[in-house]
Structure 1
Amino acid sequence: MENNKSNFSRRRFIGTSASFAAATAIAGPSLFAAPSILKNNNKPNSIINGVQIGVITYSFRSMPDQSAEATLKYILDCGISAIELMGDPAESYAGKPENTVDRRRYYTLMSSKRNGDVLSDEQQKEMTEMQQKMAAYNKTVAQWRSTVSMDKFAELRKMYNDAGVTIYAFKPRAFGKDNTDAEIDWGMRAAKTLGASHVTLEHPGDDAHTQKLGDMAKKHGIFVAYHGHEQQTPTFWDTALKQSKYNALNLDLGHYVAAGNTDPLEIIKSKHDRIMSMHTKDRQTPGHGKGNVPWGTGDTPITQALQLMRDNNYKFPVTIELEYEIPEGSNAIEEVRKCLKYCKKSLA
């Protein structure tokens, strides 16, 4: 994963009729009236037999508008009542400077390189130029974060809560080794304001940094949950967990299977008390190609994991993460609905 979403601002959505037309065609009623539409009595409930099914808003990265209002509409259209919120919708709502880099393209290239794909000279040059522009943009954002009020984050939380959606995790790009202490502090304050119990980030692979984040999280009374890809192992999080009780897991069950770990249910059993949320997708084992596939067609024991949580009353949320290729004629909303339906069937 994970941060490869488009960075459309609220102004671009409101001011661009083409985006509006595309959004209404896919998502339904006009999003101009989002606040009035979203305050309704038909609030979603995706708690199934005691298991909270949520979604990471990254799942909607292919949708035509990425504003906080449009994102909420997508969530409601899926019937989801709790989420892991990516940084862009919230920060754009609060007035973050607009990014001119095509982040979808940028993160596609980054993902390809991370997966071991060989980039052409032209692709490598393109990625290098984007990295330089992103570095300059990140400095601008750091300055903005140092002065921005929490008022808009409180307002966003109320808008989501009024619609029946709670925010259990927040994932801005603010907790890396290249972020300032002020940005980290901002990210934790924003998460608390949004109502999140934890922030999420890719595991930095740096013991000093996980110690630092754990110490800062203690000050704010919030947890830091580290995400992993195919570097996940049963002991992947052990050092961070020993460093601070505020360090935790953002387990990714699908990536864990693709990494070749042979007993994915065991890590849930052994570390359930330190898991803050679990990304869920269906991936294949290395022997089957490691594919990211529609739910129920891969090797990830999603049903067994959900039933394990239900039967043992584990309370961390299950986060739907849509990463498989969306079939022609469908869209992210339809595919997230299918994933939720799969969860309901598994937990029936």
Structure 2
Amino acid sequence: MNNKKNIVSRRNFISSSAALALGTTLVGPNIFGRNRLLNSPFPNSKIKGVQIGVITYSFRSMPDQSAEATLQYVLESGINAIELMGDPAESFAGKPKSSLDRRTLWGLMRSKREGTITAADEKKLKEMQKAMDVYNEKVATWRSQVSMDKFKELKKMYNDAGVTIYAFKPNAFGKDNTDEEINYGFKAAKALGASHVTLEHPSDDEHTKKLGEMAAKHGIYVAYHGHTQQTPTFWDTALEQSKYNALNLDLGHFVAAGNEAPLDIIADKHDHILSMHIKDRQTPAHGQGNVVWGEGDTPLVEALQMMRDNGYSFPATIELEYDIPEGSDAITEVKNCLAYAKEALEG
């Protein structure tokens, strides 16, 4: 399976990216800057009826991870709707600070997940996880007591700048989290204006049943994310357990898992997809790499056009995971991905 015949060419990708970048850089240094190119007060990444969003994890390489800086990155990228990671929002709300280097931890966890971790890094990961356990106890106490006022304030700040939050992803829904933390996560999502929370699928039927039941009480959906363990039936049990259980499909990981006909999962499950991560990955036969959009095997163009042509309303969420080229940065690369999506949808 390869979408080479239908992809936006690399040459067109770069040229359209440059054109889009010209517009979005006019947002300016202030988070409430205005895009004057189209005389529009806000960025608009809803294209031909398809909402293109971004998960703020895409900006993890940027130096400032505050809520204010994250909003600026989103605006400069030309995006108007997001899946918000937990840290920017929780830091804004006063979460206890940690001395752990999260980027290092995430990198080690990713290497572990992909089976590429070294023995030395495995030891380092275990040490960092022990320190994280101690810190997580402090966070659990904070979550059980925190007011929702700061989350409402953050929502207003983002909305006033033209950015809506459709999903929230705090590390609060795992099997090791307390019920108080889980309830907190749903309440915070509602305060932020999100329709759903996202989390890694726990591969535990009892836990997905519990989360679905708790979600129903809050009126907030739970959308489960997957990596290369995704299959066409991966979510079926959770979907049967509760109408509040749903999909946070990752199309790139689905392809890298070796699933055939990846567009079928969108067609078959579209009523249960609340958001879909888009990235370009290769099939197992080609190395499973995360690559610049248009260079892999993920049918991004066809998927986006399917959403457009069928009126699917769930957002397509840019997740920047390929290596950032030298001389570039996360904002520039998210702009490039948005430009790719724009050309696909307008083609």
User: What's the TM-score once normalised by structure 1's chain length?
Assistant: 0.89
Q: Deviations over 1:176-207 (max 9, x none)?
A: 00000000000000000000000000000000
Tell me what 1:214 maps to: 212
SS of the residue aligned with 1:296? coil
Shift of 1:125: 2.1
Amino acid corresponding to residue 141 of structure 1 in structure 2 = V
The residue aligned with 1:240 is 238
Residues 35, 43 of structure 2: 8 Å contact kept:
no
Distance 2:175 2:138 in 1: 17
1:60, CA displacement in angstroms?
Answer: 0.2
Residue 108 in structure 1 maps to residue 107 in structure 2: yes
Please give the per-residue CA displacement for 1:254-295, whole angstroms capped at 9, x wherever unaligned: 000000001100000000000000000000000000000000
Q: 1:39 to 1:173 in 2, by over 3 A?
A: farther
**Structure 2 counterpart of 1:333, from 328, 331, 334:** 331
Following superposition, the deviation at residue 123 of structure 1 comes to 1.9
Q: Report the Cα distance in structure 2 between the residues aligned to 1:222 and 1:68, rounded to whole angstroms.
A: 22
Question: Given the superposition, is the C-alpha separation of residues 147 and 134 from structure 1 closer, same or farther in structure 2, using an over 3 Å criterion?
Answer: same
Unaligned runs of 5+ in 2: 1-24
CA contact (8 A) 1:27 1:74 kept: no
Q: Which amino acid aligns with 2:79?
A: I
In the alignment, the residues of structure 2 paired with residue 37 and residue 140 of structure 1 have an alpha-carbon distance, to the nearest angstrom, of: 37
AA at the equivalent of 1:316: F
Aligned match of 1:87: 86
Deviations 1:292-332 (A, max 9, x none): 00000000000000000100000000000000000000000
- 1:90 maps to amino acid: A
**Secondary structure of the residue that 1:129 maps to in structure 2?**
helix
SS at match of 2:277: strand
- Whichever residue aligns with residue 91 of structure 2, its letter is S
- The equivalent residue for 2:116 is 117
- Determine if contact 1:39/1:162 at 8 Å carries over to the other structure: no
Q: Distance in 1 between matches of 2:149 and 2:71?
A: 19
Q: Note closer, same or farther for the CA distance 1:101–1:196 as it changes in structure 2 (3 Å cut).
A: same
Matches within 5 A, 1:160-199: 160-199=158-197
> Is residue 199 of structure 2 the alignment partner of residue 201 of structure 1?
yes
Structure 1 regions of 5+ residues with no counterpart? 1-25
Deviation at 1:39, TM superposition (A): 11
Normalising by the residue count of structure 2, what TM-score does the alignment of the two structures yield? 0.89
Higher RCO by CA contacts (8 Å cutoff, separation 6 or greater): 2
Please name the residue that 2:155 is paired with: 157
* Structure 1 segment 255-266 matched on structure 2, within 5 A: 255-266=253-264
Name the aligned partner's letter for residue 123 of structure 2: K
1:147 to 145, 162, 169: 145
Shift in alpha-carbon separation, 1:27–1:96, aligned structure 2, 3 A: farther
Q: Report if the CA contact (8 A) 2:34-2:41 is conserved.
A: no
Alpha-carbon distance between aligned partners in 2 of 1:322 and 1:82, rounded to the nearest angstrom = 15
Aligned counterpart, 1:226: 224
| Matched letter for residue 288 of structure 1 | H
The C-alpha deviation readout for 1:48-88, integer Å capped at 9, x for no partner, is 00000000000000001000000000000011010000000
Identity of aligned residues (%): 69
Name the residue aligned to 2:296. 298
* Larger mean Cα displacement after TM superposition, 122-131 or 171-180: 122-131
**1:71-129 alpha-carbon deviations (Å, 9 max, x no partner):** 00000001101000000000000010111111111121111111112412x32221111
C-alpha contact (below 8 Å) 1:225/1:249 kept by paired residues = yes
Q: Is the 8 A contact 1:217 1:246 kept in 2?
A: yes
Q: CA separation in 2, counterparts of 1:193 and 1:124?
A: 38
Distance (Å, rounded) in 2 between the aligned partners of 1:27 and 1:178: 45
Provide the secondary structure at the position in 2 that maps to 1:138. Answer: helix
What is the distance in 2 between the residues matched to 1:63 and 1:27?
A: 20
